[in-house]
Structure 1
Amino acid sequence: MTATDARSTTHRGPERPGGQGLDPNQEESGNRAIEFLLATPEGEAWTDFVATHRSGPNGGAYEAWSRRGMVRWTRHHAEAGGYEYRVVEVVGQDPLAAQDYRALNTLQDQLEAAGSDDPGSAFIEPEVTTYPYAYERIAQLFDSPNAPDLVVNPRSFAYGRQPGQHGGLDVVQARAPLVFSGPGVKAGAVVDAEARAVDIAPTIARLLAMPLIDGRDGSGRSSSQRGVPPDVYFKRQDGRVLEAVLDDDTGKPERVYILLLDGQSHMELTHRLETESDSLPHLRSLIGRGTMLQYGSISNFPSITWPSHNAIGTACWSGHHDIVNPTYYLRESKQTVSPQGQQFDSARFLGDEVETLFEAVHRAFGPWDGAMGGAFTASINEPCVRGADHGALERQLVGDREWLKELTRETEVDISPRWADELQRHGHHLIGLTDNRALAQARQLFLDSTHPAPKLVYHEFSLPDGASHDYGPHHPGAREALDETDIRIGRILNLLDDKDLFESTLFVITADHGMAVQNVELNANPARLPERHGMATVTTEPLIYLRDLDIAVGVAHDGRTAQVSVLDNDRDEAGQQDRISGAQIRVIDNKGRQVATSRTDTGGNAGLAIPADLRPDEMTMEVSAEGFNVRHIRLDGTNVAPDLRTVLYGA
Structure 2
Amino acid sequence: MADIVTPVVEALTAPDLAGVVDLVAHPDPHGAPGEAVIVAHATGRVRLTLDADGTERHEVLAGRDPVADTDPLAFLPYDLEQIDPSPANATNAYPEPARRLLGFFSDPDRSPDLAIVHTPGHYFPEYGGHRGEHGSLDVIQSRAPFILSGAGVPRRGVVDGYAHVVDVTPTLLRAAGVDERFHADAAGEPLDGRARTDLLEAGAGRYVIGILWDGGHCSDLLHLAAQGTLPNVARLIEHGTALRGGAVAEFPSVTLCNHTSALTGVGPGRHGVLGNVFYDRAQRRRILANDETTWHRSAEWFRPSVATVFEMLTRADPDATSACVDEAIDRGATASTMQLIRAAGGNDGGGALDAALPPAEDSPYLGNRAHLADSYYRFCSRVDDIGVLQMQQHWASAAVAPRLTWWSNIVTDAGHHAGGPRSAIARDSLMDADRRLGALFDHLDALGVTEDVTFLMTADHGFETADPRVRGDWKGRLDDVSARLGVGFRDEGPGLVYLDV
Whether these two folds match at TM > 0.5 is yes
Structure with higher helix content: 2
Q: Which residue of 2 aligns with 1:51?
A: 25
The answer to whether the 8 A contact 1:64-1:70 is kept is: yes
Q: Which residue of 2 aligns with 1:156?
A: 120
Q: Which residue of 1 aligns with 2:347?
A: none
Which of 457, 460, 470 is equivalent to 1:512? 460
Structure 1 residues 274-285: aligned runs within 5 Å: 274=226, 276-277=227-228, 279-285=229-235
Amino acid at match of 1:213: R
Once the two structures are TM-superposed, the CA of residue 296 in structure 1 deviates from its matched residue by 1.0
2 CA distance for matches of 1:479 and 1:387? 34
- Residue 272 (str. 1) matches residue 217 (str. 2): no
1 CA distance for matches of 2:444 and 2:220? 28
The answer to whether the 8 A contact 2:360-2:378 is kept is: no
The answer to whether the 8 A contact 1:236-1:315 is kept is: no
2 CA distance for matches of 1:518 and 1:410? 29
User: Bigger shift: 332-341 or 537-546?
Assistant: 537-546
Change (3 A) 1:497 1:448: closer
Once the two structures are TM-superposed, the CA of residue 195 in structure 1 deviates from its matched residue by 1.0
- Residue 502 (str. 1) matches residue 473 (str. 2): no
Amino acid at match of 1:243: T
Q: Deviations over 1:450-509 (max 9, x none)?
A: x82111111111001101101221111111111111111111111112222211111111
Query: Taking CA–CA contacts closer than 8 Å with sequence separation of 6 or more, which of the two structures ends up with the larger relative contact order?
Result: 2
The answer to whether the 8 A contact 1:154-1:526 is kept is: no
Amino acid at match of 2:445: D
Query: Helix, strand or coil for the counterpart of 1:292?
Result: strand
Structure 1 residues 234-245: aligned runs within 5 Å: 235-245=189-199
Which of 515, 521, 528 is equivalent to 2:469? 521
User: Bigger shift: 456-465 or 88-97?
Assistant: 88-97
Which protein is bigger by CA-based radius of gyration?
1
Which of 494, 498, 501 is equivalent to 1:546? 498
Structure 1 residues 95-494: aligned runs within 5 Å: 95-112=66-83, 114=84, 122-145=85-108, 146-161=110-125, 162-213=130-181, 235-247=189-201, 252-274=204-226, 276-277=227-228, 279-341=229-291, 342-366=294-318, 374-395=319-340, 412-416=363-367, 418=369, 421-424=372-375, 427-447=376-396, 452-494=400-442
Once the two structures are TM-superposed, the CA of residue 204 in structure 1 deviates from its matched residue by 2.1
Once the two structures are TM-superposed, the CA of residue 428 in structure 1 deviates from its matched residue by 3.7
2 CA distance for matches of 1:491 and 1:532? 55
Change (3 A) 1:498 1:310: same
Which of 91, 95, 101 is equivalent to 2:62? 91
Query: Helix, strand or coil for the counterpart of 2:242?
Result: strand
User: Bigger shift: 103-112 or 174-183?
Assistant: 103-112
Query: Helix, strand or coil for the counterpart of 2:192?
Result: coil
Query: Helix, strand or coil for the counterpart of 2:426?
Result: helix
Once the two structures are TM-superposed, the CA of residue 235 in structure 1 deviates from its matched residue by 4.5
The answer to whether the 8 A contact 2:297-2:328 is kept is: no
Structure 1 residues 31-70: aligned runs within 5 Å: 31-39=6-14, 41=16, 43-57=17-31, 61-70=36-45
The answer to whether the 8 A contact 1:106-1:271 is kept is: no
Once the two structures are TM-superposed, the CA of residue 517 in structure 1 deviates from its matched residue by 0.9
The answer to whether the 8 A contact 1:435-1:462 is kept is: yes
The answer to whether the 8 A contact 1:236-1:355 is kept is: no
1 CA distance for matches of 2:78 and 2:378? 28
The answer to whether the 8 A contact 2:123-2:131 is kept is: no
Q: How many residues align?
A: 480
The answer to whether the 8 A contact 1:408-1:440 is kept is: no
Q: Which residue of 1 aligns with 2:5?
A: 30
Change (3 A) 1:421 1:183: closer
Change (3 A) 1:537 1:395: farther
Q: Deviations over 1:380-430 (max 9, x none)?
A: 1112211112222343699xx99x969999973323453564314xx4432
2 CA distance for matches of 1:197 and 1:283? 19
Once the two structures are TM-superposed, the CA of residue 100 in structure 1 deviates from its matched residue by 0.7
Query: Helix, strand or coil for the counterpart of 2:117?
Result: strand
Sequence identity percentage = 26
User: Bigger shift: 156-165 or 286-295?
Assistant: 156-165
Query: Helix, strand or coil for the counterpart of 1:459?
Result: strand
The answer to whether the 8 A contact 1:208-1:255 is kept is: yes
The answer to whether the 8 A contact 2:360-2:379 is kept is: no
RMSD value over aligned CA atoms? 2.9
Q: Which residue of 2 aligns with 1:225?
A: none
2 CA distance for matches of 1:128 and 1:58? 32
Amino acid at match of 2:393: Q
Amino acid at match of 1:56: H
Change (3 A) 1:141 1:44: same
Once the two structures are TM-superposed, the CA of residue 123 in structure 1 deviates from its matched residue by 2.8
Change (3 A) 1:529 1:343: farther
- Structure 1 unaligned spans of 5+: 1-25, 115-121, 223-233, 367-373, 549-627, 629-651
Q: Deviations over 1:102-147 (max 9, x none)?
A: 11134420233x3xxxxxxx43111111111111011110111311
Q: Deviations over 1:45-73 (max 9, x none)?
A: 21111111123355563111112211113
Change (3 A) 1:346 1:188: same
- Structure 2 unaligned spans of 5+: 344-351
2 CA distance for matches of 1:378 and 1:408? 25
Change (3 A) 1:363 1:396: farther
The answer to whether the 8 A contact 1:158-1:522 is kept is: yes
Change (3 A) 1:28 1:421: same
Amino acid at match of 1:296: G
Change (3 A) 1:421 1:340: closer
Change (3 A) 1:57 1:108: closer
